[in-house]
């Protein structure tokens, strides 16, 4: 579905990504792991058009989409849930959801809003509440629900568990798995390596803008280097 080939992306003179290549198979969940500053969010922003790479290309279903505007990529079927959620705090839950479908011209928007509210009952309960008054976990659910309103084929999730309590984190990863099982492919950026690898099929490890390891998620979970660096324990 997604093929990133030889991407190099910079902020000014600072080269953040250095010849990154990765693939996401349709129907899968793929995880990108790495510490702060490794280039995870830059990778996501490059894929979804917020940043333009100096080198390389991004292909979606075999079509070169490198450098396209984010709104064009949303119409193509790529949606980003950004780091920090970035919900519209002065708008209601319902208005936030409607913004997720801003580009759609079909007659099923209302039906889709009802569907995401069934998936996230707390949003239905608080649909007239301002987004900024929700808890962190509820805001993350709203951000995911808003992205689903664009009917994405590929959902990009940038640090969905950041700043959330452990019980809420478990709920978020359960939701990610359910969304994937319902037919949406997921590319996930996470520092919570253990949870991310448990729900994903394949993983990449970024370090200072380069991919230093990749493999099936189960293999990465038992890799001594990954265990020590990202899971906080040494292999026996």
pLDDT number for residue 229:
73
Q: Which residues contact 224 (CB under 8 A, 6 or more apart)?
A: 234, 235
Closest-CA residue to 84 (of 166, 140, 11, 31): 140
CA distance 79 to 71: 9
Q: Strands 185-190, 29-33: parallel, antiparallel or unpaired by DSSP?
A: parallel
Strand pairing partners for 116? none
How much is the pLDDT for 230? 67
Structure token digits, residue 141: 């659910």
Block residue for tokens 């906080």? 232
For residue 235, the model assigns a pLDDT of 43
Predicted pLDDT of residue 51? 93
pLDDT at 236: 38
Return d(Cα 198, Cα 180) in angstroms, integer: 14
Question: Can you list the residues of the chain whose pLDDT is less than 50?
Answer: 234-236
How many other C-beta atoms are found inside a 10 Å radius of the C-beta of residue 183?
Answer: 9
Q: How far, in Å, CA of 220 to CA of 206, rounded?
A: 13
Q: How many Å apart are CA 46 and CA 63, to the nearest integer? A: 16
CA nearest to 114, candidates 149, 138, 79: 149
- 210 bridge partner residues: 207
Which residues make Cβ contacts (< 8 Å) with residue 130, sequence separation at least 6? 89, 90, 91, 92
Can you give the pLDDT at residue 231? Answer: 61
Q: If you classify domain 2-90+151-230 with CATH, what class do you get?
A: alpha beta
Which 3 state secondary structure label does DSSP give 60? strand
CB atoms within 10 A of CB 29: 26
- pTM, full prediction: 0.90
């Amino acid at each position: 579905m997604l093929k990133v080939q030889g991407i190099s992306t910079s902020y000014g003179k600072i080269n953040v990504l250095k010849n990154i290549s990765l693939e996401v198979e349709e129907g899968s969940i793929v995880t990108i792991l790495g510490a702060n500053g490794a280039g995870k969010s830059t990778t996501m922003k490059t894929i979804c058009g917020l940043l333009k790479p100096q080198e390389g290309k991004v292909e979606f279903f075999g079509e070169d989409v490198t450098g396209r505007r984010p709104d064009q990529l949303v119409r193509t079927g790529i949606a980003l849930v950004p780091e920090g959620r970035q919900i519209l705090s002065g708008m209601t839950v319902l208005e936030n959801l409607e913004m997720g479908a801003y580009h759609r011209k079909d007659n099923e928007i209302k039906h889709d809003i009802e569907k995401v509210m069934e998936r996230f009952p707390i949003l239905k309960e608080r649909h007239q509440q301002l987004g900024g008054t929700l808890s962190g976990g509820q805001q993350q659910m709203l951000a995911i629900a808003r992205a689903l309103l664009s009917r994405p084929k590929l959902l990009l999730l940038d640090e969905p568990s950041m700043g959330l309590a452990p019980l809420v984190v478990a709920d978020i990863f359960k939701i990610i798995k359910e969304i994937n099982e319902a037919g949406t492919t997921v590319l996930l950026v996470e520092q919570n390596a253990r949870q991310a690898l448990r729900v994903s099929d394949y993983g990449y490890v970024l370090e200072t803008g380069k991919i230093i390891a990749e493999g099936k998620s189960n293999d990465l979970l038992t890799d001594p280097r990954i265990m020590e660096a990202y899971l906080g324990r040494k292999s026996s």
